Amino acid sequence: MGRRPFIVGMGGTTRAESSSELALRQCLSAVGRLGARTACFAADALDLPMYGAGRISGSEKARALVAALRDCDGIVLSSPAYHGAMSGLLKNALDYAEELRADARPYFEGRAVGCMVCAYGPQAIGATLASMRTVIHALRGWPTPLGVGVNSAAVTFSATGSCSSADVNQQIDLLAHQVMSFANMFGADRPLHAVAAQ
């Protein structure tokens, strides 16, 4: 039996079941159906102290996030569009990847990162996706070819894990396939993970 890739999801807002969190959970469900183990860091799990040298030791949530990022084969990010950029909550969480700088796989080296943006209207989606991809490049990650933009003014997400738009559902499934394809291709020679996934 082959190893199962480990995919980490990060995103949402401090409001539970925001559209960005529901989109993230839908994508993680899709990668789970494709055979991945997943861990989701959303809402309260991303409400971390502002990143700074030495601050990780004082936050159990930050230590859990860094441990998952260190061990993962791929990442899915989902953010609301705040003034043309990702939320400060998500950006601060990504700053904790600095703890991986001295690893054998520094930062997000060798990992695909899928991006999703939810905005109340279409204007901010493109700029936010572009800003997320810029940060991923700086962290040595591989943004997937597809980035998913969701106009929350026109669609809704159900608590059972689907969007009211068939097109958005199809895009989220494709994003999941792209993250998993890369994880399977580049993670095949990695040892089994020690981090327990949900």
The model's confidence at residue 82, banded by pLDDT at 50, 70 and 90, is very high
E strand intervals along 21-141: 37-42, 74-80, 112-119
Torsions phi, psi for 46 (to 5 deg):
-100, 0
pLDDT digits (tens, 9 = 90+) for 133-166: 999 999 999 999 999 999 999 999 998 779 999 9
pLDDT of residue 159: 80
**Spacing of C-alpha 100 from chain mean position:** 17
**Residue 3's pLDDT is what?**
78
Q: What is the pLDDT of residues 31-52, one digit of tens each?
A: 999 999 999 999 899 999 999 8
| Listed residue (123, 195, 115, 180) closest to 148, CA to CA | 115
pLDDT beyond 50 at 197: no
Domains of the chain: 6-186 (3.40.50.360)
